[in-house]
Each structure stands twice: as C-alpha cells, then as structure tokens.
Amino acid sequence: MSSHEQPIAPTEPSQDAVSTADPAKPQPSSEQGASLPAGEESHLQKPTPMSKNALKRIRKQKEWEDGREDRRLKRKEKRHAHKFKVRAERKALVEAGVDPSIVYNRNKRAGTLVPVAVVIDCDFEQYMTDKERISLSSQVTRAYSDNRNARYKAHLWVAGFSGKLEERFNTVLQAQQRSWKGASVFAGDFVACAAEARAQMARKQTVSQMAEGEDAAEEANQHQQLLIGPLQRSLDTPVPWPRDAHDPFPLPDPEPPLDPAFRDVVYLSSDSPYTLERLEPNTTYVVGGLVDKNREKGLCYRRARERGIRTARLPIGQFMVMQSRQVLATNHVVDIMLKWLEFEDWGKAFLSVIPKRKGGKLRQENEEGGVEEAEEEAGDGEPAEEAGAADEPKGAGAA
C-alpha cells in the first residue's frame, strides 16, 4: 500500500443484501424491541376467546338489565291494582256494618324497641357464588322487613357490609340501606360490630314493663327501649348454659376460653354443643350470613370459637319434628328470635316462621299423630327458603 492510498471505511449492508438474508432466521423488529418483562403480555397476542356459556351468561345479563324499567312499571301497576282491590273490599265491609277500626286495623301498635341486638355476619363473600350473594342480599332485606314490622324490635346490624354485597345494595337495590330505620350497616367484622351494638343499646334508656304490668302501654320514645316481661324474667333468673351431651361438630383441639370482653355476645350455629334456652337482655346475637348450600361445614362455629365467643344453636330438635333435614335461612333465624320475644315460647315461634311445606310439627302433636321423627337444624344462614328480591335475575349471576 502506497502512501497515497486511503483505508476504505466499512459500509452498511445494502437493501438488496438485507432482503437476501436467510428467511429462516428471525430478524429483530423495531416493534418487538427488547424482550417483554415477566408477566407482561405483548399487544400482538390475541385475547383468549370466551366460551359459549360465558357469552350466553353475558347476553342473559344484558337482557335482564335492559328489561329493568319494564319490570319496574309492571310492579308499580300491580301495586296500584292491589290497592284499589283492598280499598273496594274494605269499603264493602264498612257498608255491611263492620267496625271501621277493625277493617282498617287502626288499633295496631307500632313496634317497640327492646334491649337485644341482632348482628348478621356477612363476611363470607369468598365462600359464595354470585347467585348465592344475590340470595344473601334478599335474606338481609327480608330480615330488616321482619324486624321493622315485629311487635318487639331488636337493634339490627349488618356486619361485613363491603365488597360485592355493598356494590349490589348501592346499585341494583338503589342504596335502600341508607333509608333504613332501626338498622345499621357496618364494614368491619362481627366482633367490632357487636361492640358498636353494645354501645348503641347503652345509649338508650331502658324502661321496665314489669313496673306497670304486662298489659301496660308499650309505648317508648326514640331514646328508650322496653325491658319486656320475657327479658325481665331472663334477668331475674340466670339462664343456664350447660354443654350438651352430644357434640354435633366435634373438634380435636380443646375448647378455648371465652373472651371476657365479649361475654354478652352469642354466635348462633347449628354446630354448637350448646342450646339456646332463652334470650337475655343487653345481649348481641350473631347470625351467620352464609349461603353456600352447606358446603362449608362448621365455618361459623369455628370462626366464633377461635375468637372466644359463646355459641349456641336454636332448640328446634327439642320442640319440632321435621320431615326432612333442612337448614334455616338467615331471615328465618332472625324472625324466630323476634317471635320468641313476642310469645316467650320456642314452639310457637318455630311454627309461625318455618314454612308449612316443610311439614314441621310440634313434638307433642307428632307423638299423637305417630309421624316418624326427623332431625331439623338451625343453620348458619343457609337457605331453607330463599327470600325473593324485588329485582333479582333468574338464571344469571349478578354482582
């Protein structure tokens, strides 16, 4: 090489050279760039197609949502037709000479608040399907209605009010819980809710009914609660709390001691080895808001036991004989306790609440009739009869 020659610089490959590259070897592209981080999908990947059943569920849900206004109008027309019918029947009775106070039920007294709290523990969302959560919301609204219309009303609370249950109330049920009277919702667990219920009862002035007699007026203002005869008798004579000889849900570990800070709380569960004899004043009774077709055995009982909370089961087996083994819905358990406050008789309370189609009979009547006995259990809020919601889709899940 002479001194006049310059070194040749390397040149970039021409377009023709690039096009003639081996097609079998993948060429890097500006779109792909570096490899994607772990767990991140490329936008070039196609989404997984939905199954036919999933598409069918979405279509049914959309059809249900589209028909919501039509259903509302039909319900409104039905209510108006029922009102006109009742007015016509009452008018005919009055014209026939029946006492108007009886026809129009003017002597009916408003419900009286008593120093008893009922907490529905709804903190079981992860154990239920969408359809079961819809059923639970219906049972909660039915429990509120039963308590509102009861002769003796309890302090009603809904614990674990969050997640999809709260979403359904705020959307489908139009946030009706915000207008509830005598009932409250609580996002925390049942133990914290029981503490709130205790404080609420303490803020009310307790008036004894026994001082003026059983037949005295049952009027109490908004700052008072009435200590009715059944609760007064439970206070005068301490309620026994013996352990049953038969343990329906034996556990291997020894029973932990009770939490002294929550001795006034009782969790109702059919798996408890204790039987509820009477309701006590200034006590909170927790009902499991669990709709799972009895898949989760002993879930409510274990939850209460681990927290050092007293447990008990309703004495259905002592008073009733059923034709089949069933579990009571959440609203049924609440209503049975409200009926006991009115009758002070578990047999009457069970007969007035448990659906007749279940063939339940009092043990005395059963012995006379010779019907074969079957066992009935009061459950952790699982449905014996699902309370129908006013706007609940059939055959399609909803939040």
User: Which of these is catalytic: 123, 146, 292, 335?
Assistant: 292
**Residue at token pair 């409200």:** 338
Mean pLDDT of 61-87: 89
**Rg of the chain over all Cα atoms, to the nearest angstrom:** 32
270 and 248 in contact (C-beta within 8 Å)? yes
Query: For residues 228 and 253, what is the distance between their CA atoms, to the nearest angstrom?
Result: 40
How much is the mean pLDDT over the chain? Answer: 81
Q: pLDDT tens, 116-154? A: 999 999 999 999 999 999 999 999 999 999 999 999 999
Query: For residues 124 and 292, what is the distance between their CA atoms, to the nearest angstrom?
Result: 10
Structure-model confidence comparison of residues 240 and 358, the more confident one: 240
Q: How far apart are the first and last CA of the chain?
A: 84
Q: Is 105 left (phi over 0), alpha (psi -120 to 50) or beta?
A: left
Q: pLDDT tens, 168-213? A: 999 999 999 999 999 999 999 999 999 999 999 999 999 987 554 4
320: confidence class by pLDDT, cuts 50, 70, 90 = confident
Instruction: Kindly tell me if the per-residue pLDDT of 399 is higher than 60.
Output: no
CA torsion 368-372-377-382 (nearest 10°) is -120
Residue 7, number of CB atoms within 10 A of its CB: 6
Q: Which residue(s) pair with 156 in the sheet?
A: 118, 183
Q: Is 292 a catalytic residue?
A: yes
Structure-model confidence comparison of residues 378 and 253, the more confident one: 253
Instruction: Kindly tell me if the per-residue pLDDT of 78 is higher than 50.
Output: yes
The pLDDT of residue 82? 93
325: confidence class by pLDDT, cuts 50, 70, 90 = low
Query: For residues 145 and 19, what is the distance between their CA atoms, to the nearest angstrom?
Result: 78
Instruction: Kindly tell me if the per-residue pLDDT of 101 is higher than 90.
Output: no
* Alpha carbon of residue 240 to chain centroid: 29
**Residue at token pair 């016509």:** 88
SS3 assignment, position 342: helix
The pLDDT of residue 307? 95
The pLDDT of residue 217? 47
Q: What pTM did the predictor assign?
A: 0.73
